[in-house]
């Protein structure tokens, strides 16, 4: 049952709602959830009704509370200043929660909101032959969670890893490898070896600027498709992907497409032709630009003096290809806030080209990761490898599992699930736009509102449910009838309310592209479950009471498990 809808209908039927001329949909948008439970389950502010009814909001609230008091779904309705505070019948809400969780299970919280609509989510997108460092975790796990949330909401999602596999840096890499490289080193440690060559190139180029010219020539040969340069580039790409995929496997992340920048290299001429047709190209010091001063933006550089294309040209080509190939409803880019101007520019150019779907291209920015002593630098070799972070988290977790004699059938698997989960959860626990400083202590701190806490709560609920499988089966078969047995328990009702609001949290996270909404909600559910666990004897003597409590524990476990999986984490049964 959608209680907001039911309350909106009751308010719309009331004399105050009718006289104010508000429809149920308008009223639904006005309904709030009070911060404190003593203020009710839902609240309706009466300020907007004052003009139409020619009364003070507190008077309207008193009259409306009296009108609504007899409605079937309410336990009581109170007026507090200009608000109508509604208290639902506890057994109605608990019954709705128990029934939904028992019947929907892995789909609890899901919807068919996006049925028949395709959403592309581009995320991660590391540069070939460069480190997969801690900075890449943001795009990777935020994008993965957004993809999971949209899929859960019924959209047909396409996961795209737009690899940075093209550009002048490959000319530098080719020159560096030919001068100082070793094939066995690259095959043994691809990224670290290639990074060392790249770093050495920049060190040597400081002393010998002619290396830059040599690199430009090497890239020009690559662009022409010359066999030797093409073979080296392909090898760098293949070796890099092996290493990237090892990290993706640790994170449980996969993609439907690895079409990177190189994929669009033969699609540039069409973009240039479209820009010429619309008379958008201007020459500036030998380069080609699109003037955007009318939109409060600097010019967008389309081609350099030598005619070579840039990121912006390739992003325009990629968007056109994706619309023609996939017919997307939304084309989402999970890319750092540093690129805000870049995305504003090329999306505006798509619009100027006359493509109506320009507004369906959405840039989802996020804050940056820095080190204690400043920003990371690939050129200087100052990076923290993501694989090192994950391995240290796993090893630290393994030590804790052994030290605390954690109940698990597989120490290594539990350490992997919890260690990696801790890193993912920490990334998704705050609003994505916030910058933060990387800290080993913070990453490996498992106390408080963390991923391991939620995973432990899920395992605790699983443990309780295993203790009486017969009672649990009976409870799930007739969940709605058990609700009255829980109406006197404050901790049960508080938990049921949070479980009930989980589908709303998922929808809101999708609307705002904000996985931290799910993260915070599953922490709240875990805390409420642990209060319920401590306040109540779940395996009670009375059979009806026991079944009711098991049904609620099942609903809590299902909610935590579904939330963790949306975030890209495992939900251990034992821990």
**Which residues are known to be catalytic?**
130, 133, 136
Secondary structure E strands in 47-117: 74-80, 83-88
Q: Which residue intervals of 429-542 are DSSP H helices?
A: 440-443, 451-466, 469-477, 490-500, 502-512, 516-535
Closest by CA to 66, choosing from 121, 119, 10, is: 10
* First vs last C-alpha separation in the chain: 34
> What's the CA gap between 554 and 550, in Å, rounded?
6
Nearest of 235, 232, 212, 213 to residue 222 by alpha carbon = 232
Residue 364, strand partner residues: 334
Around 265, how many Cα atoms within 13 Å sit in the side-chain half-sphere? 16
Contacts of range 5-12, beta carbons closer than 8 Å, 24 or more positions apart: 6/73, 7/31, 7/42, 7/44, 7/73, 7/86, 10/68, 10/71, 10/73, 11/44, 11/64, 11/68, 11/84
Annotate 279-331 with DSSP letters as a single string.
Answer: T-EEEETTEEEE--GGGT-PPEEEE-TTS-B-HHHHHHHHHHHHHHHH--SEE
Q: What is the Cα gyration radius of the chain?
A: 28
């Amino acid at each position: 049952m959608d209680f907001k809808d039911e309350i909106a209908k009751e308010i719309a039927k009331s004399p105050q709602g009718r006289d104010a001329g508000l429809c149920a949909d308008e009223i639904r948008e006005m309904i709030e959830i009070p911060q404190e439970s003593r203020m009710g389950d839902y609240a309706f502010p009466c300020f907007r009704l004052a003009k139409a009814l020619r009364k003070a909001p507190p008077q309207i609230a008193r009259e409306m509370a009296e009108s609504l008091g007899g409605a079937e779904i309410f336990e009581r309705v109170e007026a507090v200043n200009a608000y109508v505070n509604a208290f639902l019948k506890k057994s109605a809400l608990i019954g709705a929660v128990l029934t939904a969780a028992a019947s929907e299970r892995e789909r609890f919280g899901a919807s068919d909101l996006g049925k028949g609509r395709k959403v592309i989510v581009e995320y991660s997108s590391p540069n070939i032959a460069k480190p997969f460092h801690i900075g890449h975790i943001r795009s990777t796990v935020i994008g993965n969670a957004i993809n999971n949330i949209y899929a859960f909401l019924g959209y047909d999602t396409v996961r795209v890893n737009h690899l940075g596999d093209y550009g002048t840096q490959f000319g530098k890499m080719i020159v560096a490898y030919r001068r100082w490289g070793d094939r066995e080193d690259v095959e043994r440690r691809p990224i670290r070896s290639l990074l060392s060559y790249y770093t050495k190139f920049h060190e040597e180029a400081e002393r010998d600027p002619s290396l830059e010219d040599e690199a430009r020539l090497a890239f020009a040969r690559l662009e022409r498709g010359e066999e030797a340069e093409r073979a080296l580039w392909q090898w760098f790409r293949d070796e890099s992907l092996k290493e990237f995929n090892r990290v993706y496997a640790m994170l449980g992340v996969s993609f439907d497409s690895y079409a990177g920048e190189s994929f669009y290299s033969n699609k540039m001429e069409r973009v240039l032709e479209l820009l010429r047709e619309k008379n958008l190209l201007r020459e500036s010091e030998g380069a080609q630009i699109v003037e955007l001063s009318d939109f409060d933006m600097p010019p967008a550089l389309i081609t350099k003096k030598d005619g070579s294309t840039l990121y912006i040209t390739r992003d325009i080509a990629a968007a056109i290809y994706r619309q023609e190939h996939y017919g997307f409803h939304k084309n989402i880019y999970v890319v750092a806030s540093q690129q805000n101007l870049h995305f504003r520019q090329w999306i505006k150019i798509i619009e100027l080209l006359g493509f109506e779907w320009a507004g369906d291209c959405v840039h989802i920015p996020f804050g940056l990761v820095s080190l204690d002593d400043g920003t990371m630098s690939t050129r200087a070799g100052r990076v923290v490898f993501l694989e090192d972070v994950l391995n240290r988290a796993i090893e630290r977790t393994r030590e804790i599992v052994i030290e605390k004699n954690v109940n698990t059938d597989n120490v290594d698997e539990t350490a992997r699930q919890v260690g990696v989960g801790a890193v993912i959860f920490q990334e998704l626990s705050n609003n994505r736009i916030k910058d933060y400083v990387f800290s080993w202590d913070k990453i490996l701190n498992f106390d408080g509102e963390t991923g391991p806490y939620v995973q432990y709560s899920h395992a605790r609920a699983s443990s309780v449910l295993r203790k009486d499988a017969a009672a649990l089966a009976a409870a799930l078969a007739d969940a709605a009838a058990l609700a009255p047995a829980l109406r006197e328990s404050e901790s049960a009702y508080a938990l049921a309310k949070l479980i009930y609001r989980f589908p709303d949290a998922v929808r809101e996270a999708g609307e705002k592209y904000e996985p931290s909404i799910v993260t915070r909600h599953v922490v709240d559910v875990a805390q409420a479950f642990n209060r319920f666990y401590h306040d109540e004897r779940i395996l009670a003597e009375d059979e009806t009471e026991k079944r009711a409590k098991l049904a609620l524990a099942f609903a809590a476990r299902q909610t935590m498990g579904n939330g963790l999986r949306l975030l890209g984490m495992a939900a251990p049964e034992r821990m």
